[in-house]
């Protein structure tokens, strides 16, 4: 009998993990590519990445991966939603996101980086760092997998 010695992966960054309860909204990406699974804000009707000094209330949602994707120039196969494209944004539901710092644990608060002092603005982290991260309306659904991807419950 075959034994599985590692846990199953959480998915790919930007995957909507429980589609039955997801609230998705199509949005136009602004002048900058957006990474799948990243939090984004809405400015003048377009999705843009978080900037230093933003607050949790600025987050409009998380950039969802379109499925299936085919690849090629300007596609979403490079783990980004290209500037000027239309992409779905998770406004409420469950999603696999890349965890930049920490391990995460079921029920733990999710933090977004708002300072580039010791990381990239918009990174998802598992700990509060004064003046560098903010708690967002999300909780971890477990620990990150071997690839650093973790499932979160957002705005539920």
Q: What are the tens digits of pLDDT across the range 34-82? A: 999 999 999 999 999 999 999 999 999 999 998 655 444 444 456 899 9
Alpha-carbon distance of 29 to 32, in angstroms, equals 7
Domain layout of the chain by residue ranges = 19-154
Run of H or E including 62: strand 59-63
CATH 2.40.300 fits 19-154, yes or no: yes
- At 2 the pLDDT is 65
Total Cβ atoms within 10 A of residue 110: 23
First to last CA, the chain: 40
Total Cβ atoms within 10 A of residue 8: 7
Alpha-carbon distance of 86 to 115, in angstroms, equals 27
For 95-123, the pLDDT digits (tens) are: 999 999 998 999 999 999 999 998 999 99
For 3-39, the pLDDT digits (tens) are: 666 777 888 999 999 999 999 999 999 999 999 999 9
């Amino acid at each position: 009998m075959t034994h599985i010695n590692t846990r199953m992966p959480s998915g790919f960054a930007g995957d909507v993990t429980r589609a039955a309860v997801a609230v998705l909204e199509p949005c136009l990406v602004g002048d900058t590519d957006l990474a799948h699974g990243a939090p984004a804000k809405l400015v003048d009707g377009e999705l843009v990445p978080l900037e230093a000094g933003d607050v949790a209330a600025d987050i409009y949602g998380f950039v969802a991966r379109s499925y299936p994707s085919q690849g090629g120039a300007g596609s979403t196969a490079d783990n980004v939603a290209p500037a000027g494209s239309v992409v779905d944004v998770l406004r409420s539901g469950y999603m696999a996101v890349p965890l930049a710092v920490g391990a995460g644990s079921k029920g733990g608060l999710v933090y977004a980086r708002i300072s580039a002092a010791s990381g990239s603005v918009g990174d998802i982290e598992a700990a509060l760092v004064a003046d560098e991260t903010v708690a967002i309306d999300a909780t971890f659904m477990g620990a990150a997998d071997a690839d650093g991807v973790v499932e979160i419950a957002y705005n539920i």
